[in-house]
Amino acid sequence: MASVSTNDFKNGWTIMVDGNLMQVVEFQHVKPGKGPAFVRTKIKNVRTGSVIEKTFRAGESVDRVNIDKREMQYLYKDGSDLVFMDNETYEQITVPPESVGDLSDYLVESETAILLMFGSEIVGTELSASVELEIAETEPGIQGDRVSGATKPAMLETGLTVQVPLFLESGEKIKVDTRTGSYISRA
């Protein structure tokens, strides 16, 4: 860990504050008319996602942490765990589903994801904005039931349920937004 001054903060930096990994969301240098300058920040706990406001003295030293972004390919599910392979070293790692959060709802075999790692601990995940998934099960569209904008639930191959238009059937591939979990279009 490198020690940096609060005067050098940049949005997106990850720092160690009171033993917690925190990401700088927003910061502002303040020089009041009276008294010493300070840096007002909004920082997000990387592990829990909670955002707090914290004030640092100007010039105070904090530890900057390097978060390693590793491109991994999802291979298969081993019991409840997920098995990923590093695309550079071909090393396989087993990951508990709680480490990747909702990402597991969008993963199919051979899908690529970026795992944010601090040492050997996974502290975050990134996936493309949309993924193509197959509809595993949905009710058939009823003839004459073509109300504009009407939707029905559809279970996808990963077990995720999304609302889709009435004309879609089981076996079709659709695009799903990974940020909102909503249907975008046919694939």
Full pLDDT tens readout for the chain, 187 residues: 788 998 899 998 999 998 889 999 999 999 998 889 999 999 998 888 889 999 999 999 999 998 888 999 999 888 888 899 999 999 999 988 888 878 888 888 888 888 888 888 888 888 888 888 999 998 887 666 666 677 889 999 988 899 988 888 889 999 999 888 889 888 8
Q: Which two tokens stand for residue 79?
A: 């019991």
State whether CATH 2.40.50.140 applies to domain 2-64: no
CB 22, CB 14: distance < 8 Å: yes
What pLDDT, on a 0 to 100 scale, did the predictor assign at position 38? 93
Whole-angstrom Cα distance, residue 2 to residue 64? Answer: 5
Same fold flag, 68-126 and 130-186: yes
Whole-angstrom Cα distance, residue 43 to residue 9? Answer: 11
What pLDDT, on a 0 to 100 scale, did the predictor assign at position 147? 63
Whole-angstrom Cα distance, residue 161 to residue 63? Answer: 42
The pTM of the full predicted model, rounded to 2 decimals, is: 0.72
Any idea which fold 68-126 has? OB fold (Dihydrolipoamide Acetyltransferase, E2P) (2.40.50)
What pLDDT, on a 0 to 100 scale, did the predictor assign at position 61? 93
Domain ranges of the chain: 2-64, 68-126, 130-186
Q: Right CATH number for 130-186 from 1.10.3720.10, 3.10.20.30, 2.40.50.140, 2.40.128.20?
A: 2.40.50.140
What pLDDT, on a 0 to 100 scale, did the predictor assign at position 104? 82
